[in-house]
Amino acid sequence: MSDEKLRLEDLLDDVKAAPEQDRIEYVAIIGCGRMGQGIAWTVAASGLDVVIIEKDQFHLEKGQQQLEAQMEREIARWAMTKSEMKSILSKIQWKTDFNELKDCDVIIEAVEENFQLKRLLFKKCDEICKPEAIFISNTSTLSLTKIAEITDRKDRIIGMHFLHPVQKVPLVELIKALDTSDATVETIKGFATTIGKTAVEVYEYPGFVTTRAIVPLLNEAMHILLEGIASAQDIDIAMKLGYNFPMGPLEMADTMGLDEVLAWMETLWNTLGEPRYRPCPLLRKLVRERKLGKKTGEGFYKYDQDDKIV
């Protein structure tokens, strides 16, 4: 009996010591580009209410049309039903007014990889949102600690690095900043589980795990193409068949967005100084020409309206 009582007391102590988790019911996503669309899709599919915030009506409507088009393609592939599409879209609101954030439990920024922009967004959100709201950055290379410095809630800021396409990739990297509380970590771990993701905890460091590991591969594939060793198609076939990749590195870069890939490389090159992160000149050329991959219809390949290589 005494041993049983002791075990029960230990269990109760563990429960008391565990950080309390906040209830998440209403999620805001800032930015409705490809990542924002995928995050909204994933969160809404889990049954949570979502509001997407964009800077203007043009980009808002464009994002909404693109998300609906993606879902229509999934329906055409028999990967989802019209009723599922209708259910998911019914959970998403589309707004341009930042005041819509005031009642949200979690705010996820999914804007371009720009340090100053992310800091300004977090400062604005800090002024509008309720004190208990948690801010999440989808950054893949930037310092969360430095982004958090501009707010008055450094303990409630954390990183969730989703991978594209968000609705299909089961992984998310969970990044704890210097001042992120244990309670925030536990709450967002639970949120990750709710939306069907396996969360991998990583230290705050440029590139974390997935970006830091994939960038040298993408860069090397671009150099192989630049040097005329093989065509883009043959490079991708070699990597898919040789290493069982679902997608070759050049098509992968196109899918990610070549401007985003360039931003990652430049950040890693500038912060770590390793030659393997120095962007290939071919990548810079394509970005200058606004050939950014699937989102513009051309990158290393040309694509049709269904994102298929033509």
Task: Identify the CA nearest to 234 among candidates 296, 301, 308.
Answer: 301
pLDDT for residue 211? 93
pLDDT for residue 142? 87
Domain boundary among 177, 202, 227: 202
Tell me which residue has tokens 């269990």: 11
pLDDT for residue 1? 45
Q: Check if the beta carbon of residue 54 is closer than 8 Å to that of residue 23.
A: no
Q: Is residue 17 part of a domain?
A: no
Q: Is residue 157 part of a domain?
A: yes
Q: Is there a single domain that holds both residue 266 and residue 167?
A: no
Take residue 266 and report the two structure tokens written for it: 């430049």
pLDDT for residue 27? 98
Tell me which residue has tokens 């040309």: 302
pLDDT for residue 15? 46
Q: Is residue 3 part of a domain?
A: no
Q: Is there a single domain that holds both residue 96 and residue 140?
A: yes
**133 burial level (CB within 10 Å; 0-12, 13-18, 19+):** buried
Separation CA 56–CA 76 (nearest Å)? 31
Number of folded domains in the chain?
Answer: 2
Torsion angle, CA of 117/121/124/127, rounded to 10 degrees? Answer: -140
Q: Is there a single domain that holds both residue 215 and residue 154?
A: no
Q: Is there a single domain that holds both residue 186 and residue 218?
A: no
Q: Is there a single domain that holds both residue 101 and residue 134?
A: yes
Task: Identify the CA nearest to 210 among candidates 269, 250, 246, 164.
Answer: 164
Q: Is there a single domain that holds both residue 190 and residue 60?
A: yes
Separation CA 225–CA 300 (nearest Å)? 10
Q: Is there a single domain that holds both residue 184 and residue 222?
A: no
Close Cβ partners of 299 (under 8 Å, ≥ 6 residues apart): 253, 254, 258, 286, 291, 292, 293
pLDDT for residue 14? 53
CATH of the domain at 77: 3.40.50.720
Which range of residues forms the domain containing residue 225? Answer: 211-288
Q: Is there a single domain that holds both residue 194 and residue 242?
A: no
Tens of each residue's pLDDT in the chain, 310 residues:
445 444 555 544 554 554 555 789 999 999 999 999 999 999 999 999 999 999 999 999 999 999 999 999 999 989 999 999 999 999 999 999 999 999 999 999 999 888 999 999 999 999 999 999 999 999 888 889 999 999 999 999 999 999 988 999 999 999 999 999 999 999 999 999 999 999 999 988 888 999 999 999 999 999 999 999 999 999 999 999 999 999 999 999 999 999 999 999 999 999 999 999 999 999 999 999 999 999 999 999 999 988 889 9
CATH of the domain at 222: 1.10.1040.50
Q: What is the pTM of this model?
A: 0.85
pLDDT for residue 173? 96
Q: Is there a single domain that holds both residue 67 and residue 126?
A: yes
Q: Is there a single domain that holds both residue 248 and residue 194?
A: no
pLDDT for residue 307? 85
Q: Is there a single domain that holds both residue 71 and residue 145?
A: yes
pLDDT for residue 207? 87
Q: Is there a single domain that holds both residue 180 and residue 240?
A: no
pLDDT for residue 305? 84
pLDDT for residue 7? 58
**Positive/negative CA dihedral, 95, 98, 102, 104:** positive
Radius of gyration of the chain (CA): 21
**Positive/negative CA dihedral, 123, 110, 252, 289:** negative
